[in-house]
């Protein structure tokens, strides 16, 4: 439970979301869902036969972060890499339909647009298959991406989200250049990290690993509160960032801030059906709230409420301001 004063304060930040501007840089992709029912096992192999009832294609990874920020009312642009293919054209079209600029999407020859296909039967994922490459972007693509970031920073930007899915866009050189630019311009840089890249996030504002990622990144097996505290403190020191927000599933979140303050935030999720995209929702809401002048604790609380909404929905989902306000006032 939170007090009425706290509730009013959190809602005040939500009302400020439309005045913020965020750039999302990272791995863009499409989430393709095949929905169906299973009533028998295949005679050809011991696998279920899925009778397809519908298909859907949604914005995923960095573009799901864009979708989340847009749904919450913030102004948002995207910067990433697509292929010269139908998936790239579809992704671009889906963003443009929402009124989101796509000039920051760079086409790199020979690179496919990433697609993750999930087969869902009776609200359960049966299988997933990926079409992608994880090769790092080339020098010319890096130059074009960073030129776009610099133009955005000169045009009234508040924050940059690095959405890293280890598909080759978020490189050491790109992070270094963005962090240097952000410090010069006074911008927030938030990162949804991947474990094999922890060493490249040095100097960002805030990092949002889950428990497993924090364990691997700190090389401390998080099993209890004591190991969690050691891991959080070590990540702060090693990466020299302002804060680390460890998302802990049913245990909520733990925020570690420079200076030693640690805040544990209990989960508000009522039912959990699917955690797909929950990390995108956390980084989106957290960054928007910080751009709207919330301190890190209030920003983390808002992201916790938003995550509690999306995990109750099967498939990649986003949150609207009214839903977020309703969840806060109902708590």
Going from the C-alpha of 240 to that of each of 151, 161, 211, the distances in angstroms are 27, 17, 19
295 is catalytic: no
- The Cα 134–Cα 217 span in angstroms is 20
Strand duo 262-265 + 253-257: pairing: antiparallel
- The Cα 288–Cα 74 span in angstroms is 7
| Tokens encoding 151 | 């133009």
**Assign residue 90 a region: left if phi > 0, alpha if psi is -120 to 50, beta otherwise?**
alpha
319 and 310 Cβ atoms separated by less than 8 Å: yes
DSSP state string for 203-241: T-SEE--BHHHHHHHHT----SHHHHHHHHHHHHHHHT-
Beta strands in the chain (DSSP E): 21-26, 28-41, 48-61, 75-82, 105-107, 114-121, 124-131, 159-163, 188-192, 206-207, 243-247, 253-257, 262-265
Q: What are phi and psi of 154, to 5 degrees?
A: -80, -5
Q: What's the first-to-final CA gap in the chain, in angstroms?
A: 6
Biggest alpha carbon distance in the chain? 63
Active-site residue, from 280, 295, 298, 331: 280
Going from the C-alpha of 325 to that of each of 83, 201, 233, the distances in angstroms are 38, 32, 32
Q: Which residues are catalytic?
A: 280
């Amino acid at each position: 439970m939170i007090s009425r004063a706290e509730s009013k304060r959190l809602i005040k930040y939500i009302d400020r979301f439309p005045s913020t501007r965020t750039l999302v840089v990272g791995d863009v992709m499409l989430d393709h869902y095949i929905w169906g029912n299973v009533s028998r096992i295949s005679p050809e192999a011991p696998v279920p036969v899925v009778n397809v009832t519908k298909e859907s294609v949604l914005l995923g990874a960095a573009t799901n972060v864009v979708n989340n920020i847009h749904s919450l009312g913030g102004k948002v642009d995207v910067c990433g890499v697509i292929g010269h293919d139908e998936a790239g054209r579809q992704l671009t079209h889906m963003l443009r339909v929402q009124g989101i600029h796509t000039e920051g999407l760079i086409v790199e020859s020979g690179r496919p647009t990433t697609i993750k296909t999930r087969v869902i039967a009776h609200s359960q994922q049966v299988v997933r298959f990926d079409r992608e490459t994880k090769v790092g972007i080339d020098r010319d693509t890096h130059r074009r991406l960073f030129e776009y970031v610099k133009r955005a920073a000169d045009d009234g930007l508040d924050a940059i989200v690095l959405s890293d899915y280890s598909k080759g866009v978020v490189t050491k050189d790109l992070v270094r250049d963005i962090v240097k630019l952000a410090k010069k311009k006074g911008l927030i840089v938030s990162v949804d990290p991947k474990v094999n890249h922890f060493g490249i996030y040095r100097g960002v504002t805030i990092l949002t690993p889950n428990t497993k990622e924090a364990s691997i990144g700190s090389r401390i097996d998080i099993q209890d509160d004591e190991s969690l505290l050691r891991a959080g403190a070590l990540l702060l020191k090693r990466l020299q960032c302002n804060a680390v927000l460890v998302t802990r599933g049913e245990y909520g979140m733990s925020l570690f801030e420079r200076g030693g303050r640690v805040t544990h935030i209990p989960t508000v999720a009522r039912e959990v059906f699917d955690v797909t995209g929950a990390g995108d929702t956390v980084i989106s809401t957290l960054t928007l709230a910080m751009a709207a002048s919330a301190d890190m604790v209030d920003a983390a609380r808002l992201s916790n409420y938003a995550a509690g909404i999306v995990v109750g929905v099967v498939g990649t989902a986003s949150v609207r301001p009214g839903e977020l306000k309703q969840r806060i006032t109902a708590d």
